[in-house]
Amino acid sequence: MPATRTRKKLADLGAVAAGLAHEIRNPLNSLYINSQLLEEMLVELPDRDVPQKDELLALARANLKVTQRLNDSLSAFLRFARPPAMELSPVDLNRVVAETLRFLEVDFTYRGVDIAVRYHPAPLPLLADERQLKQALLNILLNAEEAMDKQEKAVRVATGVRAGLPFVRIQDNGRGIPRADRRHIFRLFFTTRKNGSGLGLPIVRQIVQQHGGTVSVRSREGRGTSVTVTLPYESQFRAMYPGRLPLALPPGGGTR
């Protein structure tokens, strides 16, 4: 009974927080639109009529950046407070990882990040929400990119099977996580980044747990960080959560 009451309180708190976030987003969107209009108006004004045009433009664009960052943080918080229902389908973990990396390929190349990938030789069939799983991997990869400030930046990605379960490991050679911070990295709003929201890793763990998996982090200061996501095979997931599967889902173990 106490556990049930605690879950209800957490659900009620999440509903209140989500409602508050929605209320904040409305004026925030208005502020963003007004800043856009102000920027456009300033650009069109002749320089001779506005001696401080450059300074005013800089302020308008700074407001745009700040409001966009706040809006992104609100979106991430709403996703955490009210996670979307999973749309499960058979997928191959190798393919999901490959497509996520392809999405970041240009950005990583531009920032001088060397990526090395080693895929498991056989398909790794999962039952997953592909969009959410890609979001979790994207969060980890973006964290890795942000953590690297060395001359030679490197990310190593590997998929495989450990203890009978598929996994994907993402390792960087960045700054690493200070020992005192490691116990807090999955805590909501905890961040050591200047412009971080503290929602990236909590959302990763939430998505992975919804898929019946686990996420573990190993890090050494000055050496880098390794994040491992372990997930059940499709057949294992079906056995774990038979009541959560859509009736239309094909019974086989194929991937798409």
* Alpha helices in 45-120, H assignment, sequence order: 53-81, 93-110
Give the tens place of pLDDT for each residue, 56-93.
888 888 888 878 777 766 666 666 666 677 889 999 99
Residue 146's contacts (CB-CB under 8 Å, 6 or more residues apart) are 174, 193
With cut-offs at 50, 70 and 90, classify the pLDDT of residue 256.
very low
Give the tens place of pLDDT for each residue, 133-160.
999 999 899 888 887 876 788 999 999 9
Percent of the chain clearing pLDDT 90 (strictly above): 32
3-state secondary structure of 207: helix
Domain 89-242 has CATH 3.40.50.2300: no
Rounded to 5 degrees, what are φ and ψ at 114? -85, 125
Give the tens place of pLDDT for each residue, 153-186.
899 999 999 999 999 999 999 888 878 777 777 7
Angle at 9 between CA 5 and CA 15, to 5 degrees: 145
With cut-offs at 50, 70 and 90, classify the pLDDT of residue 25.
low
Angle at 110 between CA 105 and CA 113, to 5 degrees: 70
Cα-Cα-Cα-Cα torsion 120, 241, 202, 68, nearest 10 degrees, comes to 90
What pLDDT was estimated at residue 56? 83
Is residue 55 over pLDDT 70?
yes
